[in-house]
Amino acid sequence: MDRVGIVTCMALPELDPDQELLLDALRQAGLHADLLAWDDACANPGMFDVCVLRSCWNYYSRHTEFLDWIASADAVTTLLNSAAVVRWNLHKRYLRELADAGVPCIPTAWFERGRDADLVESMQTRGWRDVVIKPTISAASFRTRRFQIDDAEAGQGFLTSLVRDVDTMVQRYMPSVETSGERALVWIDGQVTHAVVKSPRFAGGVEQVSAAVAATAAEVAFAERVLATFGEAVLYARVDIVDDESGALFLSELELIEPSLYFLQCPAALERFVASIRRTVAASK
């Protein structure tokens, strides 16, 4: 029987609205689909023809173990997205690489773990008055906070505590997230299927998204440019974008490991996703 593992974790930090929709759709397509918790020592990815990374949402707190699991799973099954993609996308330094390749990304200051980090200097040098501080390996807005220049003392304290523990990034806050919003462009098997508008989210917050909206031609072209720059075909991606004051598009995240894909908002995207998995299972035989 063709078996598909949906990779999750033993204790989900929040509900995954995609999970049951995907399991049901795979089973209706004639595939034997089950959940596979990456952090369950008794779970065996080799039981599955294909393993699709979905709600492994605690990976950021155990990323070394997670990468070890990815390597071991890659030896016994087909991973979607691939192990190479996971390794590249895990640390947000990928944004630096994309920016160096010419992709417009949200302006960012980077601080390696244990290094000195002066928030006021970083903001004044770049002309920023409003920033977001977060770890470079994170999910669900973990330890992510916004600070304005008038609150720089508190921001410095937060930045200092963060850099003591992990590599850290300070990004210019993009005001458009409060008006046009951050748009999440969902990419399935070679094309943008739909988009949603996301509200700003910080540590402790709950994600709020719109119904599906059609991506504009400019947004689709931007997503295609980003993924062409990355250079490896992927089953799924989420290209999160924002505008600057002039309306120009900037990349905020390229999520290739475990992004929500908002299947509830777009059943056609789910159908495309399942069809691609079926073809991958058949090719794995």
Can you tell me the distance from the alpha carbon of 63 to that of 89, in angstroms, rounded to the nearest whole number? 12
CATH 3.40.50.20 residue spans of the chain: 3-89+265-284
- Average pLDDT across the chain, whole number: 94
| Topology at the third CATH level for domain 3-89+265-284 | Rossmann fold (3.40.50)
pTM above 0.85, yes or no: yes
The amino acid occupying position 208 is: Q
- Confidence grade of residue 178 (pLDDT, cut at 50, 70, 90): confident
CATH of 94-103+176-255, one of 3.40.190.290, 2.40.50.180, 3.30.470.20, 1.10.3720.10: 3.30.470.20
Q: What is the structure's pLDDT at 202?
A: 53
Q: Are the C-beta atoms of residues 78 and 284 closer than 8 Å to each other? A: yes
CATH 3.30.470.20 residue spans of the chain: 94-103+176-255
Q: What is the structure's pLDDT at 285?
A: 73
pLDDT tens, residue by residue, 119-143: 999 999 999 999 999 999 987 677 8
pLDDT for residue 177 is more than 80:
yes
pLDDT tens, residue by residue, 61-73: 999 999 999 999 9
pLDDT tens, residue by residue, 84-95: 999 999 999 999
pLDDT for residue 201 is more than 80:
no
Q: Which residue has the higher pLDDT, 99 or 209?
A: 99
pLDDT tens, residue by residue, 10-29: 999 889 999 999 999 999 99
pLDDT for residue 58 is more than 80:
yes
CATH 3.30.1490 residue spans of the chain: 108-173
Q: What's the CATH architecture for 108-173?
A: 2-Layer Sandwich (3.30)
Q: Are the C-beta atoms of residues 52 and 7 closer than 8 Å to each other? A: yes
